[in-house]
Amino acid sequence: MSVPDLAPIPESSGLVDAYTPLADCFDEMRTAEGEVRPHWQYLLDALRTLGPTGIEERWREASRLVRDNGVTYNLNGDPRGMSRPWELDLLPLLIRSEEWADLERGLIQRAELFNLILADLYGPRELLRLGLLPAELIDGDPGYLLPCHGIDISGGRPLIHYAADLTRTPDGRWRVIGDRTQSPLGAGYALENRVVLSRVIPSLFRDSHVHRLAGFFRSMRQTMARLAPHRGDEARVVVLTPGPQNEAYFEHAYLANYLGYTLVQGGDLSVRDGAIWLRTLGRLERIDAVLRRVDDAWCDPLELREDSLLGAPGLVQAARAGNVMLANALGSGVLEHPAFMAFLPALCQRLLGESLLLPDIPTWWCGDPDSLARVLDDLDRLTIRSCIRTSDEHPLFPAAMEPAARDALIASIKRNPGGYIAQERIQPSTAPALIGQRLEPRPSVLRTFLIAEEEGYAVMPGGLGRVAMSHDATLLSTQLGGLGKDVWVLASEPERQESLLPTAEMQTPAVIQESAVSSRVADNLFWIGRYAERAEGLVRLLRITIFKFSERGDYRIAEGNASCLRSLLEAITNQTQSLPGFIGKGADKRLIDPVPELLALISDRTKVGGLPRTLEALGQAAYSVRDRLSVDTWRIISDIERLLGSLSEHPPTQLSQALDELDPLVTSLVAFSGLSQENMTHNEGWHFLETGRRLERGTSIASLLQSTLVPVASEQDENMLIEAVLGISDSLITYRRRYRGGTRVGALLDLVLQDEGNPRALAYQFAMLSKLVADLPKGDLAMGRTPAEKVVLKSLTDIRLAEINQLIQVEKQGLRRTALSKLLVNLDQGLAALSNAITAQYFRHEEQPHSLLRRTGTTPS
């Protein structure tokens, strides 16, 4: 790689020059003597040119991109939960192309070896018969799934996707410290790291001639299609995720989008007649291949873990019948047993006839008597690990133990030697990380990824780097935090641009039918529309109410005063259902001093019906279907979450402060509605989102009119109320241009109740709902109008036939507009009935029993 003259400038902070490698470990950037390794020189010169200020700007830009793109990873115990952002180091990990070629050969050999072992363990079991693997190691491991024995694997490739964790020993040689064979995590994060860094430091990325990643994912897509029972580009492939509560849900959705697959959960799937189907609203879609992100034992509650809610009953039988390809094959988790490392050198010689090119950390299984004796003799130089794999399992260091604890460990090993392994203690290699204003060495791990091809395996040219936050960390994993790193494999010449888009010579159909949405997706999209509209309507109502208080100059209401402000406060409680509020028990006291209740509705996360709870529900529903939302839409969701965090963490103490927070929030909510309307394909999913939005807006308008126009007020108060309603419904300008006779109730009802051309009118919502409901899937056996269509038709007819002159009439007692109230109540009940009808028809499933075995000449119903 040529290094152009960047004319480095001196930097007084010592950002680069003060970097000192740690003792007794290999450092990626500098030798033990402090010399910069040649392939790092260009990067360091670029950093010196940028200086601390330039680096700080790019770090902030990278953090913003991660936040805007919604890149999250949930660590156990982190209070931010699903909203915890992925942490990315600005510095990549650099590897020379020549060195990578050697590493690649070792990784491919390792994947081939594991594939052969896996095929044998679930087939002839020759390795156990010949004593190359102890039977107790395999049969006693929960990762070995007996129901999966004998399943014929398409193409002879049970191990399709493989990952290995690597670090260097002090002499610079790579060692494997862990294998991932069930559902390897991290390829999506590696891709996102690359996307962010290539945008933040584009010239440095371009001039470094970094190997591209798109080819790896193209191989993944080709392999999934090739190995599917129905081969070809029309094979239906899905990504099976445990759901939004999983720590890596972002990656599941990200990969599904990038590869063009459907993201599904176990509840979306149904096994019928020996095959697996995606349950959509209008039909069943045959699934040919599953890229699973659910661990082995949780995939089928019928034959594996009966308490699992993550998989699909009958999935094992569908695989056994050869009707679906699973990547990876069920039971592949047995290869992650830590004791396997002790047997790999011999297995490699036996199965491949060659030495292991990429060795593990020297490992001894204590179940072997000779190994046990060696371990006990040299205990203080070793690391002890339990063979029982749990999420909180940590290595033990006998040399650092108290005498009593050390003796207890020895006794435990002697009682159950097969339950422990021992490994040489190694100091992981270090890589530079940007810590504050300095580069500092941190322990690092490189996770590499491989995908099966027709002949052999393809290796991702790079991977996912991880660095610890402390100098003395001895164990790195995604669950232990740290920083992510992009990994640059440096080529000697510019790389060709690659894409997953089909090339001109590929004979693919011009149009492939888009997968319909499942009941779960439709349900979440429906509620996204409702929550977004509910939040926007509440923000608009709160803003106008605060404006009216500001005009009055006093936030207190005299007792018994039936003013405009009182009606608006009651409207807030009616709309949020945050009882008792301003209408229930103790309302008179809260009406006298409404500020605490209003502030609670704006910023208190525990307030039922309040703005924070509504925004939280919006975020959770959006997160559940994030694979259906565009990057721009997700950025708006991230902005909304950021504004919610600001409201909750720094709650306003005055209504004027709250107003400053509500203004940008309503802008983001309007932007979300605009993006969903203009940028989202108007398919089945959009129809449910838009149905939810229109239904919720109709409910809000009906509630607002019921609270403000049904009670009769003085002429002055009525005019103020009408102006407030026009402001909340964003119809004030139209009203002023259309009606010249002042602000009167009849004109308002004409505009906000009956005008089917006004997007904020109640009639418009029902007119839109009539079209939307008519376009929803009805099923092959549906005849006539559905219950939802009948409800909408009746309500729309009631609005169209209503006479405004009768609606504005006041009852004899002069206190209420009875006809208007009756109409609004009926319309509100119609909206509730519509919601119930949609829920009953599309969001609830009562499965009938089906045979898991295919019957000749039958198709699923």
By the 8 A CB rule, do 465 and 431 touch? yes
If asked whether residues 689 and 792 sit together in one domain, one would say yes
pLDDT-based confidence at residue 404 (cuts at 50, 70, 90): very high
pLDDT-based confidence at residue 526 (cuts at 50, 70, 90): very high
pLDDT digits (tens, 9 = 90+) for 37-52: 999 999 999 988 888 8
pTM of the predicted protein model = 0.88
Q: Is residue 648, in this structure, part of any structural domain at all?
A: yes
If asked whether residues 532 and 387 sit together in one domain, one would say no
Residues in the chain: 861
Whether the predicted pLDDT of 575 surpasses 90:
yes
If asked whether residues 676 and 814 sit together in one domain, one would say yes
Whether the predicted pLDDT of 694 surpasses 70:
yes
Q: How many domains does the chain have?
A: 2
Question: Between residues 639 and 556, which one has the greater pLDDT?
Answer: 639
Share of the chain above pLDDT 70, in %: 88
pLDDT-based confidence at residue 130 (cuts at 50, 70, 90): very high
Whether the predicted pLDDT of 393 surpasses 90:
no
pLDDT-based confidence at residue 348 (cuts at 50, 70, 90): very high
555: which residues sit within 8 A by CB, 6+ positions away?
549, 593, 594, 595, 655
pLDDT-based confidence at residue 856 (cuts at 50, 70, 90): very low
Whether the predicted pLDDT of 827 surpasses 50:
yes
pLDDT-based confidence at residue 855 (cuts at 50, 70, 90): very low
Domain extent at residue 406: 362-424
- Tell me the two tokens of residue 248: 């890596």
C-alpha distances out from residue 302 to 298, 307, 310, 318, 322, Å:
10, 9, 12, 12, 18
What is the Cα–Cα distance from 314 to 320, expressed in whole angstroms?
10
Query: HSE-up of 628 (CA within 13 Å, CB side)?
Result: 29
pLDDT-based confidence at residue 510 (cuts at 50, 70, 90): very low
Number of CB atoms found within 10 A of residue 791's CB: 24
By the 8 A CB rule, do 314 and 302 touch? yes
Q: Is residue 190, in this structure, part of any structural domain at all?
A: no
Which residue blocks in 595-710 are alpha helix, DSSP H? 595-603, 611-624, 631-649, 655-678, 684-708
Range with lowest mean pLDDT among 460-469, 512-521, 662-671, 806-815: 512-521
Cα 704 to chain centroid, rounded = 36
- Tell me the two tokens of residue 249: 């849900």
pLDDT-based confidence at residue 7 (cuts at 50, 70, 90): very low
What is the Cα–Cα distance from 633 to 621, expressed in whole angstroms?
14
Range with lowest mean pLDDT among 50-59, 169-178, 837-846: 837-846
What is the Cα–Cα distance from 575 to 487, expressed in whole angstroms?
52
If asked whether residues 563 and 666 sit together in one domain, one would say yes
Question: What's the whole-number mean pLDDT along residues 715-737?
Answer: 89
pLDDT digits (tens, 9 = 90+) for 326-344: 999 999 999 999 999 999 9
If asked whether residues 689 and 821 sit together in one domain, one would say yes
Q: How high is the pLDDT of residue 363? A: 94
Q: Is residue 308, in this structure, part of any structural domain at all?
A: no
Question: What's the whole-number mean pLDDT along residues 720-731?
Answer: 91
Instruction: Tell which of 375, 395, 424 closes a domain.
Output: 424
If asked whether residues 387 and 527 sit together in one domain, one would say no
If asked whether residues 413 and 524 sit together in one domain, one would say no
- Tell me the two tokens of residue 143: 């990762």
If asked whether residues 558 and 707 sit together in one domain, one would say yes
Domain CATH for 407: 3.30.1490.270
pLDDT-based confidence at residue 12 (cuts at 50, 70, 90): very low
Q: Is residue 440, in this structure, part of any structural domain at all?
A: no
Tell me the backbone φ, ψ of residue 848, rounded to 5 degrees: -90, 150
Q: How high is the pLDDT of residue 9? A: 37
If asked whether residues 419 and 533 sit together in one domain, one would say no
Amino acid at 509: P
pLDDT-based confidence at residue 82 (cuts at 50, 70, 90): low
Amino acid at 74: N
Average confidence score pLDDT of the chain: 87
Question: What's the whole-number mean pLDDT along residues 90-99?
Answer: 94
Closest CA to 283 of 782, 691, 624, 681: 782
Q: How high is the pLDDT of residue 161? A: 96
Share of the chain above pLDDT 90, in %: 65
Q: Is residue 202, in this structure, part of any structural domain at all?
A: no
Whether the predicted pLDDT of 670 surpasses 50:
yes
Q: How high is the pLDDT of residue 494? A: 66
Tell me the backbone φ, ψ of residue 502, rounded to 5 degrees: -65, 145
Question: What's the whole-number mean pLDDT along residues 614-637?
Answer: 91
Question: What's the whole-number mean pLDDT along residues 128-145?
Answer: 93
pLDDT digits (tens, 9 = 90+) for 433-491: 988 778 889 999 999 999 999 889 999 999 999 998 877 666 555 454 678 999 999 98
Beta 237-240 vs 289-292: how paired, if at all? parallel
Query: HSE-up of 575 (CA within 13 Å, CB side)?
Result: 35
Q: How high is the pLDDT of residue 39? A: 93
Instruction: Tell which of 386, 407, 424 closes a domain.
Output: 424
pLDDT-based confidence at residue 81 (cuts at 50, 70, 90): low
pLDDT digits (tens, 9 = 90+) for 756-808: 999 999 999 999 999 999 998 876 555 788 899 999 999 999 999 999 999 99
Q: How high is the pLDDT of residue 389? A: 76
pLDDT digits (tens, 9 = 90+) for 229-246: 876 667 899 999 999 989
Instruction: Tell which of 424, 445, 473 closes a domain.
Output: 424
Q: How high is the pLDDT of residue 777? A: 84
Q: How high is the pLDDT of residue 103? A: 96
If asked whether residues 699 and 822 sit together in one domain, one would say yes
By the 8 A CB rule, do 418 and 365 touch? yes
If asked whether residues 528 and 388 sit together in one domain, one would say no
pLDDT-based confidence at residue 492 (cuts at 50, 70, 90): confident
Q: How high is the pLDDT of residue 345? A: 95
What is the Cα–Cα distance from 379 to 422, expressed in whole angstroms?
8
Whether the predicted pLDDT of 811 surpasses 90:
no
If asked whether residues 546 and 419 sit together in one domain, one would say no
Q: How high is the pLDDT of residue 515? A: 59
Q: Is residue 699, in this structure, part of any structural domain at all?
A: yes
Which residue blocks in 201-343 are alpha helix, DSSP H? 202-207, 214-227, 249-259, 315-320
